[in-house]
Structure 1
């Protein structure tokens, strides 16, 4: 018995108490029934899903608070929580006990203890002294009761430094089982270190500032180009008590590496000035400038030491690009641009120079194509995770995070257990407490590993932690803040640590990429949509005299279209891409040809006007208007050609009428087409078709013309004869003179007009 007590980390007093309880159980029921109540009873109820829990699952035990999380000598451990009776009977003569031990020597033992459910005699530790317990006379069916246990650490009889099991149990009786039995238990871990360590692994904790996209591609027509937000949700996140406000407030007190999406900074910076928010079919003025300024000021102070990593602008989904987008032309160039503007954006807004050579695939899952895409954009370090880049059994310890994977690229491998410790619902105090204790336990077990090597560990949590998750992470880091068994390092320092020679450097095959993550990726169609938008933008910007007013907002919107934040939100992602493309097409259509009606020629030669309208708020240039006759034999342009073109420049908000010379040879109808082109020969906008009617060169007209010519000839003969007689009369002394000639007739053409042609219009000759 003494040997057993020593193994379980218990004093002689608890051992005597256990003997008394066993004797009581022998008096009231068979020993087997007492010991196996926690195992056999649930099995007996397996056939009835509607039946209430029994055995050691009868009572739910929640550990809502455990302080200090990692005690030292002289501390008093305080554990509080709630017990709830889930069974069908009232529980009487109950006692809540604290159980400590045994020591868990590695991470596998921690995992096993954490997965165990129900009371397991022989595996679970014995209760400590009764004086640190709490009694409950009666706990009715469905009833709950808060508890609080307090015990000096010196009374826990902890031995060597390491991780110990810590449990809280409720022992009681029911009418059907009138003997002491464990009716509920919850386990956690107690990290214990009594002496300072000589060798401490470094730990780099990433603190992500990332949000979903809120800015649209739209801007106001004013000189400042007032930005337009899709909603005002970002203001709620940065306002006091909001998720991002809490992230900054908590992170400012912690030794972390800030991982920032520059798009978030740009969006908040836009909110510090005038901005608009969509509201139905219109927009309203944004009112959260003060909130935005306060958040940026707080963040700038928090990152003043310069531990900042900038992701590519918009946090593009590297896996989606690698698996679905890289074969769509232009996609990789967007990623390159997003990487190039990242550093400038962060430095301009936060006044600190960030590191820009880190890529962070979703959940650290990598394959060769993801690594290739990441490095193509300039990253030299890829943040992976140990459940993706898994170790073999060649090492007896967890190697340092840095792993050379070829081509000058380093995989910075985060620890999967530590990185996923705070996922799930942390709003429940019990979940949060367990997560903190497990994180500390795992980190201590890593520090306890038998190696003198200089190691750096990396923790890469979820990209957008909730407030409760961030608070839990902060509590865990605060417990390590005094360098108990780890030391704080930046991500850059972790990546530069000398790699372990035996650590794996083999990147998993593409077929090993998790199906769950692959199903969340952006589809290939998304990248084709982006390509279509970029093509329209390229054609549009070449005609603008101020292209930067369009290129910048649309370029940023294209980057947001590839964001990791769209995972699991396929419909919202599609709607965002559609809104960008629709808005751009609307701007493109502001420069167009005004539709013409049929044209009637008033003579053999004429000018045909075509009007170009510019409803943009900037001039357009570098356009060519091309007019084409489908029948040059009947109607030719510009001295004999079938096609004529002229360069175009149209002022903001104006229309420009362009005139083409035309000559009619044969009467009838001729189909004409007008089309705008950019100077590099690409069509711009829709082609416009209209008809020219050559209707005045009829036989009657020709007869009239011939008759007129005949009359002129006859008049000339008459004038010659008359002059000859006059000369003869002059020779005989008779007076004579020239007959007075009539003046030129009134011109039959009107002045040229720059207005568009009307219905049945006649064009100038």
Structure 2
């Protein structure tokens, strides 16, 4: 409440200032309702009957100009809706200007009760400055627009005034004119520029959720895979991110960017895939992504750009649940380094990476420690976390040195939260804009002679309508009558108020509601497991960057602030990353081997390793172990184990043969397993056992077998000789029969001089 004081600090001691501040509070509180609502304007019984039971809803949809000067005409436009059962007759809408509010706390109170009908409303500006309705039936809405010259409003000293639109009329149950509904807002009034303007720093965040998965295509370009195509909707005309860039291009803001968003949009400018159920389909929004990136690049040229660590890690979750998990904090510094590279590569501007932004600006000592471990020297806090305790009658400058070379840049909570909620309704947006302007003027008027600097850190991911409302409010400050723009880097370097508190709140003061949204310790354990598996996998790769980069980014995304309020989504994302990495690791595996039999004192055991990856693998060792080395020994050294190095081309297999030495018959279990060169078991697959049956051949057995073979050979020769002789005898007998004549003839015939037929045989 002491913020209402408007006197100059001067040389008063802190104790005297506190006494004066307390006196103002005690005097002011009993009069608060009267200051807000003004003198009575209706019968007493009307006040009793209508309080908090407005029969007519009044919406102020537009107020122009938002911050008028002398000579202006203020136009109030909106709608009235009869929510009661009775028809309102002889109705009219009038404009009411209430008293000047004496400080920020009075503004808060007035905003909370802005639509209450008390019966003590300020009088209407009479005459022609009304909108009349003969009848307003139940459930019917009517629009109105009333223009009133500033000179008719009775505005006096500089300050914040209440301005309201009310509907008055008669009903069947109350046949006299009375106020049936009202909506109040604020009218900042400072027609001339202040001698000491407040420096206003507006953060303009470009942050989105997690869209890219760890998966990439096996092609040379490593086609990225998106979880869905929601990002394209945000980038398209009218989308949230499109509006942020379009509106911010003409505003004096400091751009606060998550480099992961840039990397994701940049990936969309080329070939990409989108998951649809269990399949993937080609993405088709390259043009949307290219246009958005092009507009952003031209917009931020020459502007201040602050890059958050890659994927906007949840600093509070790390501080409260992750710092005790080995390796969890080690991701922060690389995330900061890749942030600078990403922004500079894509937007061609050099960003500032010296700022950390915990969720809602809520801090405690552990959060500060985690934030600075990433290299940040400035932590964006908020005044509802780092509350003022030194009794100052004004809001001090945002920059506060908190020790160790770290500055807490304390954003104003009222201004930072002014546009939260649903801003799609014109009436809601108008009230938010006027509240923002009123609070900013009240800040300056706390001590008009003292130059101060204020920071506004809005919600991380404003909707399109919220962005529109923020832009409207900032444009209303263009005249720079009580504020002037300042970038965040300069705000962090502003001279701190020596009387402002610099004490970081205790851990117990951290909001319970925010603690419930934090990532659990298991999230950081999962990231640790993923990192260990990645370290084991990358050793064997000839092109490790194809895997290390996407999985490193995925682990950063697993710790993102965007998972707040979505515990199931966060867990599902982490599980998906782990399963995909395991699937890649299992692409290099042992081919299942069936049981086999070995005969002889020495033999070989073949084992096959398959590489289904597109890149070659190396630095891999295949180890074979005999469970019973007294029966089956491996290698030339007759040991229980043997191993051989592997280097396998992408998409190929390699069979390795291990020499053995047999000492005794019987079954032996042999175990094959893959290792990296440092002796670490490779992958998640267990060792592959198989059975080898040993059948040993002794010298006696070999002689018996040799003798048997010899007898078989001799028997074969004997049989062959016998068959040959039998064939010869049969041939000779056949010749004898052929020489005997078939009919007896004399052998005294004349001989022939011709040779015999070839079929014949002649004995000479």
Fold similarity call, TM over 0.5: yes
Are 1:653 and 2:651 matched, yes or no? yes
Contact in 1 for aligned 2:663/2:696 (Cα 8 Å): no
Partner of 1:37: 49
Cα distance change of structure 1 residues 644 and 34 upon mapping to structure 2, 3 Å threshold: closer
Partner of 1:391: 388
Partner of 2:235: 238
Task: Report the number of matched residues.
Answer: 675
Instruction: Write the deviation string for residues 213-233 of structure 1: whole angstroms up to 9, x where unpaired.
Output: 111111111111111111111
Cα distance change of structure 1 residues 251 and 274 upon mapping to structure 2, 3 Å threshold: same
- Aligned counterpart for 1:185 among listed residues 182, 207, 222: 182
Structure number with greater Rg is 2
- Aligned counterpart for 2:65 among listed residues 65, 68, 73: 68
Structure 2 CA distance for aligned equivalents of residues 443 and 288 of structure 1: 41
- Aligned counterpart for 1:381 among listed residues 378, 381, 389: 378
Structure 2 CA distance for aligned equivalents of residues 238 and 438 of structure 1: 30
Instruction: Write the deviation string for residues 466-511 of structure 1: whole angstroms up to 9, x where unpaired.
Output: 1110000000000012212101000111100011111111111111
After TM superposition, give the deviation of residue 648 of structure 1 in Å: 0.9
List alignment gaps of at least 5 residues for structure 1.
Answer: 23-30, 43-52, 712-765
| 1:405 partner SS | strand
- Aligned counterpart for 2:680 among listed residues 682, 685, 690: 682
Contact in 2 for aligned 1:37/1:181 (Cα 8 Å): no
Partner of 1:361: 358
Partner of 1:146: 143
| 1:526 partner SS | helix
After TM superposition, give the deviation of residue 708 of structure 1 in Å: 9.8
Instruction: Write the deviation string for residues 410-463 of structure 1: whole angstroms up to 9, x where unpaired.
Output: 110000000000011100111000000000000000011125333210000001
Partner of 2:343: 346
Partner of 1:697: 697
Instruction: Write the deviation string for residues 172-212 of structure 1: whole angstroms up to 9, x where unpaired.
Output: 11122111211111110000111111101100000010111
- Aligned counterpart for 1:662 among listed residues 656, 660, 663: 660
Instruction: Write the deviation string for residues 516-537 of structure 1: whole angstroms up to 9, x where unpaired.
Output: 1111111111111111111111
Partner of 1:621: 618
Structure 2 CA distance for aligned equivalents of residues 187 and 660 of structure 1: 89
| 1:684 partner SS | coil
Structure 2 CA distance for aligned equivalents of residues 681 and 9 of structure 1: 78
Are 1:476 and 2:488 matched, yes or no? no
Partner of 2:543: 546
- Aligned counterpart for 2:512 among listed residues 506, 510, 515: 515
| 1:131 partner SS | coil
- Aligned counterpart for 1:643 among listed residues 625, 641, 644: 641
Partner of 2:453: 456
Cα distance change of structure 1 residues 236 and 9 upon mapping to structure 2, 3 Å threshold: closer
Instruction: Write the deviation string for residues 661-689 of structure 1: whole angstroms up to 9, x where unpaired.
Output: 11101111111111111111110133111
After TM superposition, give the deviation of residue 703 of structure 1 in Å: 6.2
Contact in 1 for aligned 2:354/2:378 (Cα 8 Å): yes
After TM superposition, give the deviation of residue 700 of structure 1 in Å: 6.7
Partner of 1:428: 425
List alignment gaps of at least 5 residues for structure 2.
Answer: 1-30, 712-764
Instruction: Write the deviation string for residues 700-750 of structure 1: whole angstroms up to 9, x where unpaired.
Output: 726627979999xxxxxxxxxxxxxxxxxxxxxxxxxxxxxxxxxxxxxxx
Are 1:278 and 2:270 matched, yes or no? no
Partner of 2:716: none
After TM superposition, give the deviation of residue 121 of structure 1 in Å: 4.2
Contact in 1 for aligned 2:662/2:696 (Cα 8 Å): no
After TM superposition, give the deviation of residue 120 of structure 1 in Å: 2.9
Partner of 1:762: none
Partner of 1:334: 331
Structure 2 CA distance for aligned equivalents of residues 647 and 35 of structure 1: 92
- Aligned counterpart for 2:556 among listed residues 543, 556, 559: 559
Q: Where does 1:5-44 land on structure 2 (aligned, <5 Å)?
A: 31-39=43-51
Structure 1 CA distance for aligned equivalents of residues 58 and 708 of structure 2: 117
Are 1:493 and 2:505 matched, yes or no? no
Contact in 2 for aligned 1:63/1:430 (Cα 8 Å): yes
| 2:293 partner SS | helix
Structure 2 CA distance for aligned equivalents of residues 8 and 404 of structure 1: 39
Structure 2 CA distance for aligned equivalents of residues 242 and 460 of structure 1: 21
Structure 2 CA distance for aligned equivalents of residues 188 and 643 of structure 1: 84
Partner of 2:289: 292
- Larger mean Cα displacement after TM superposition, 208-217 or 594-603: 594-603
Structure 2 CA distance for aligned equivalents of residues 96 and 168 of structure 1: 7
Instruction: Write the deviation string for residues 619-672 of structure 1: whole angstroms up to 9, x where unpaired.
Output: 000011111111111111122211111111111111111111111011111111
Q: Where does 1:302-313 land on structure 2 (aligned, <5 Å)?
A: 302-313=299-310
Instruction: Write the deviation string for residues 278-313 of structure 1: whole angstroms up to 9, x where unpaired.
Output: 122222221111111110110011101231100010
Partner of 1:200: 197
Structure 2 CA distance for aligned equivalents of residues 214 and 654 of structure 1: 34
| 1:443 partner SS | helix
Partner of 1:761: none
Contact in 2 for aligned 1:594/1:612 (Cα 8 Å): yes
Contact in 2 for aligned 1:8/1:126 (Cα 8 Å): no
Contact in 2 for aligned 1:629/1:642 (Cα 8 Å): yes
Contact in 1 for aligned 2:673/2:681 (Cα 8 Å): yes
Q: Where does 1:704-715 land on structure 2 (aligned, <5 Å)?
A: 704=704
Q: Where does 1:35-114 land on structure 2 (aligned, <5 Å)?
A: 35-39=47-51, 53=53, 57-114=54-111
Q: TM-score, normalised by structure 1?
A: 0.86
Structure 2 CA distance for aligned equivalents of residues 37 and 608 of structure 1: 98
Structure 1 CA distance for aligned equivalents of residues 96 and 235 of structure 2: 43
Contact in 1 for aligned 2:195/2:448 (Cα 8 Å): no
Structure 1 CA distance for aligned equivalents of residues 249 and 535 of structure 2: 43
Instruction: Write the deviation string for residues 340-390 of structure 1: whole angstroms up to 9, x where unpaired.
Output: 100110010000011101011111111111111111111111101000000
Structure 2 CA distance for aligned equivalents of residues 473 and 654 of structure 1: 59
After TM superposition, give the deviation of residue 119 of structure 1 in Å: 2.5
Instruction: Write the deviation string for residues 93-149 of structure 1: whole angstroms up to 9, x where unpaired.
Output: 122110112001210111111122422344x32211222112221111122111111
Structure 1 CA distance for aligned equivalents of residues 618 and 362 of structure 2: 48
Q: What is the CA RMSD across the aligned residues, in angstroms?
A: 2.2
| 1:661 partner SS | strand
Contact in 2 for aligned 1:306/1:353 (Cα 8 Å): no
Partner of 2:738: none
| 2:687 partner SS | strand
Structure 2 CA distance for aligned equivalents of residues 166 and 449 of structure 1: 21
| 1:295 partner SS | helix
Structure 1 CA distance for aligned equivalents of residues 457 and 36 of structure 2: 35
Cα distance change of structure 1 residues 538 and 126 upon mapping to structure 2, 3 Å threshold: same
Cα distance change of structure 1 residues 9 and 400 upon mapping to structure 2, 3 Å threshold: closer
Structure 2 CA distance for aligned equivalents of residues 497 and 656 of structure 1: 67
Structure 2 CA distance for aligned equivalents of residues 394 and 278 of structure 1: 56
Q: TM-score, normalised by structure 2?
A: 0.86
| 1:130 partner SS | coil
Contact in 2 for aligned 1:667/1:697 (Cα 8 Å): no
After TM superposition, give the deviation of residue 397 of structure 1 in Å: 0.5
